[in-house]
Structure 1
């Protein structure tokens, strides 16, 4: 298959269950070319008009993957959910073929360990990750949203603690004191990307910060 990208990065999504369909559609809506693959022809036909291209193929078959030009894709997402064996075998085939970046979803702790050992660059456990996200939001008084980047690092939206309000980023010294980087500030309907050190943190601002979970907890403690 000849693949002609419309955007800089190309994505392939293998498995058109609920998670696979949602992530494929989200990437397509963001303007990327997306190839969706599933062995079930009925699913392929149902999804045929949703993304750039949809094909029926057995992703555990190396020849089938190569015929789809899978090496042309920057990121391949293995979204096979219930069939653990197919999920693992597909990830292994992609790794052996030489796909540059593989994201695989997992349902159990054991599956996470196996996928990591065979070389998945990122393993996503939707149920676990969502449970942690909800728990974090419920337990926190000033964290608006939370995304785990790894077991030790996260990106969060956090209300500005009282002690830091009406101070500039330089004065608050968040990076040096708390080991956190402020990547953006949400102010009403505006989003300030890469704010300058002179940007003042206002009462109703929401800071988007990235750093270790320990550092995030330290910043949150300021409000207590």
Structure 2
């Protein structure tokens, strides 16, 4: 059974989510108060409508109560974002994800019932910054305020050494949870096997520990 989603706000962030969900075969209701944006997604989303998301009656008419997960991706209008979240909470939507403009906005969203708050610009900035540091840092994902998961390509300092030799957990407080080797992902890597040049480590840990790991063992200047 297909899950049903609604995306409110079809700017760069909301539009990207709408496209990806649609490509994955999900049922997507796309909502915006801008006619041009709605027209852009008429052939992408399952349904695309012009509507004021702060109007509870309008959202009811659209059948929003039957949607499994609503993503509020409203751009710069913080008031509209907050009011829309309040309406969705009052309607008892199962899951509400909201884009926050800043930390103050996030605090309000958490208090009024948002299940998940995202900072796409801030989070993407962190990922790009870590990638800029080194060619070996391929991806960086924040799990909480203090913990992250990083995907790193094995560098010169690690090639030919095993996980036992490197002892990343003892030396840096991080855990290697998987090793990618080509298209294969080994979630139970052998601690004795020598790492190869093209191997990719997936490492999880506290931000301060990951930072030490990157600086001492991973980073190779661009």
TM-score (norm 2): 0.81
User: Which residue in 2 is equivalent to 1:110?
Assistant: 104
The answer on 1:143 being equivalent to 2:137 is yes
In 2, the alpha carbon distance for the partners of 1:104 and 1:61 equals: 17
In 2, the alpha carbon distance for the partners of 1:180 and 1:12 equals: 38
Map Cα deviations across residues 143-197 of structure 1 (whole Å, 9 max, x no partner): 2211223322222211236665456667766567655454543323x13153444
User: Which residue in 1 is equivalent to 2:50?
Assistant: 56
In 2, the alpha carbon distance for the partners of 1:30 and 1:210 equals: 28
In structure 2, the gaps of 5 or more residues are: none
In 1, the alpha carbon distance for the partners of 2:57 and 2:173 equals: 47
The answer on 1:152 being equivalent to 2:131 is no
1:88-99 equivalent positions in 2, closer than 5 A: 88-99=82-93
Number of equivalences: 217
User: Which residue in 2 is equivalent to 1:209?
Assistant: 203
Out of 191, 194, 197, the residue aligned to residue 184 of structure 2 is 191
Query: Offset of 1:81 from its aligned partner?
Result: 0.3
In 2, the alpha carbon distance for the partners of 1:53 and 1:176 equals: 53
Tell me the secondary structure at the aligned position of residue 112 of structure 1: helix
In 1, the alpha carbon distance for the partners of 2:93 and 2:70 equals: 7
What is the CA RMSD across the aligned residues, in angstroms? 2.8
Tell me the secondary structure at the aligned position of residue 130 of structure 2: helix
In 2, the alpha carbon distance for the partners of 1:185 and 1:73 equals: 37
- Contact 2:179/2:189 (8 A) holds in 1: no
Tell me the secondary structure at the aligned position of residue 6 of structure 2: strand
- Contact 1:170/1:197 (8 A) holds in 2: no
Indicate how the Cα distance of structure 1 residues 139 and 78 shifts in structure 2: closer, same or farther if over 3 A, else same.
same
In 2, the alpha carbon distance for the partners of 1:65 and 1:74 equals: 14
Query: Offset of 1:100 from its aligned partner?
Result: 2.2
- Contact 1:161/1:222 (8 A) holds in 2: no
In structure 1, the gaps of 5 or more residues are: 1-5
